[in-house]
Amino acid sequence: GQNIDQPTEMTATEGAIVQINCTYQTSGFNGLFWYQQHAGEAPTFLSYNVLDGLEEKGRFSSFLSRSKGYSYLLLKELQMKDSASYLCAAPIYNQGGKLIFGQGTELSVKP
Amino acid sequence: DTGVSQDPRHKITKRGQNVTFRCDPISEHNRLYWYRQTLGQGPEFLTYFQNEAQLEKSRLLSNRFSAERPKGSFSTLEIQRTEQGDSAMYLCASSPGANVLTFGAGSRLTVL
């Protein structure tokens, strides 16, 4: 079966670093996505990892370990606008790009 | 192109009524997906199209739900005889093949 787990909520301070973890179980592997979703808005693409290791993109980095079924999203120099839900998602192998999502991690950034 | 458009953004209806949502994907994207999202949860897959062909439907999609993409461009999602449990955000996404999904802002349904 397919399953994605991530913490429900996290709180961090402006200017700090936060790591949002995601563990997944999928039949076959086709990469791992992270999306950001502000309240009442569309999810927007942040990152896609298909190989092990860390990929950095400005203040946001994403890490993948395929052997452990584990990923994390690292947010540096947190800003108030980073308060949002962060969704971990995996494509279902051989099913046309269909994604299954975790429940999302609601991040609150406080001054 | 301004991205994926959904209409209406909000719909309030009484139980038992039918509702229809429309999605206009990014024009060169051949794949179109419908998801449902409730508060505090991630999006749940409902169905997807490649061009005009509906390739998969989730078990979540009861026979009261139907989706079409008649000319391989825009899509509609109809819910017949709405129930309170249908209250959710209905998200549409499109992609150029099996690639990054671009989501619309969603259509929020409230069934009274």
What pLDDT was estimated at residue A94? 66
Whether B1 has a pLDDT exceeding 60, the answer reads no
What pLDDT was estimated at residue A98? 82
Whether residue B28 contacts residue B35, with contact meaning beta carbons closer than 8 Å, is answered with: no
Tracing tokens 């449902």 back to the chain, one arrives at B36
Please enumerate, as own/partner, the contacts of B44-50 that have beta carbons within 8 Å and a separation of 24 or more. B44/A101, B45/A98, B45/A99, B45/A100, B46/B77, B46/B90, B48/A96, B48/A97, B48/A98, B49/B75, B50/A96
B43 lies within 8 A of chain A by CB: yes
CB neighbours of residue B31 within 10 Å: 21
Nearest CA in chain A to B90: A42
Number of A to B CB contacts under 8 A, please give it.
59
Mean model confidence pLDDT for chain B: 93
Which of A40, A95, A103 is opposite residue B42, by nearest beta carbon?
A: A103
Nearest CA in chain A to B89: A40
What pLDDT was estimated at residue A109? 98
Establish whether the linkage from the previous residue to B8 is cis, with ω within 30° of 0: yes
Contacts of A8 in chain B (CB under 8 A): 40
CA atoms within 13 A on the CB side of A61: 13
- The pLDDT tens digits of the residues spanning B38-56 come to 998 999 999 999 999 998 8
What pLDDT was estimated at residue A2? 77
- The pLDDT tens digits of the residues spanning B10-27 come to 999 999 999 999 999 999
Whether A73 has a pLDDT exceeding 80, the answer reads yes
Instruction: Tell me the DSSP string of B71-98.
Output: TSS-EEEEE-S--GGG-EEEEEEEESSS
pLDDT, mean of residues B88-107: 91
Give 3-state DSSP helix, strand, coil % of chain A, rounded to 5: 5, 55, 40
| Contact check, Cβ <8 Å, A42/B41 | no
C-alpha Rg value of chain B to the nearest Å? 13
pLDDT, mean of residues B69-85: 95
